Amino acid sequence: MCVVLVLAAVVAVTVTIQRFGGDSADSGEQLQLGSPGGAGVAVGPTQPASTEAAVLNGWQQIGGDEFDGKKVDSKHWDVYDGANSANETWSSKQCAVSAGVLTITGLADSAGTTCGISWKGDQTFGRWEVRARMPLPADAGYAPAFLLWGADDLHFPNAGEIDFAETWNPDRAFTESWLHGPGNLKGPYFKSNPVDLTQWHNFGVDWQADKITLYLDGQVWGVYDDPKYIPTTPMHLVLQLTYMRKHAGVPTKTSVDIDWARVYR
């Protein structure tokens, strides 16, 4: 199982890098969050009831992890472990759980030692949300990635891949999304508005048969609605700190903290 997971991760990372390189914001489209208000009487900002898409939209939770234990729960997650051909090493030691938080750390070593976990339950369509922050300093070669990966690991890209939050910029000032639809590698793309990802934020995705909706702190920031790119076979949640060499020498030690990850119908 670990071998399959590692191979799948290599394919996904390699595909993204080959298509977008170091600066991946040069293709696809962007959807802006909100718009400037018109002239009139100034009023104070309205505080939302919640910043969780699940709460705001009434999603029904069916699974997830609050990371309240002392280590990753192997009953619900598979942990990547082993080296691959992309000069990257997955190590379960780099996934640590403490004080209700999962911390994935990428080491300052030439192997790009990092970690990733994948949820054991597959489903066709559904909703997922992850609460996370991305501390500084961060290396350009380490990218926190929250995604849905097809259950059919051996036949990527036929099963598709939904990267609903993938953050390559080392200043952690915005996030991005890619959709690798069934049988294709060059699906559509979104880039978020500027946001301080060193603070806690909620990243959500609603995958349905006719569209995929991206959420950041409960607000829609992208919608994929071209049916030819929307996966239609079972997928599962993956949380990982991807590594791809971006410069000479060893990378800067980098981490991502995850408070919780939840699955909804």
**Amino acid at residue number 136:** L
- 142 inside domain: yes
How many structural domains are present in the chain?
1
- 248 inside domain: yes
- 32 inside domain: no
Q: Which domain holds residue 151?
A: 2-20+49-264
| Cα diameter, the chain | 61
- 76 inside domain: yes
Q: What CATH number is given to the structural domain containing 164?
A: 2.60.120.200
> For residue 238, with 0-12 CB atoms within 10 Å meaning exposed, 13-18 middle and 19 or more buried, which class applies?
buried
Phi, psi (5° rounding) for residue 61? -75, 135
- 252 inside domain: yes
- 162 inside domain: yes
**Amino acid at residue number 264:** Y
- The conformational region for residue 232 under phi > 0 = left, psi -120 to 50 = alpha, else beta, is alpha
- 36 inside domain: no
Which structure tokens are listed for 162?
Answer: 């939904």
- 28 inside domain: no
Written as tens digits, the pLDDT of the chain (265 aa) is: 443 444 444 444 434 333 333 333 333 333 333 333 333 444 444 555 799 999 999 999 999 999 999 999 999 999 999 876 556 799 999 999 999 999 999 999 989 999 999 999 999 999 999 999 999 999 999 999 999 999 988 777 888 999 999 999 999 999 999 999 887 888 899 999 999 999 999 999 999 999 999 999 999 999 999 999 999 999 999 999 999 999 999 999 999 999 999 999 9
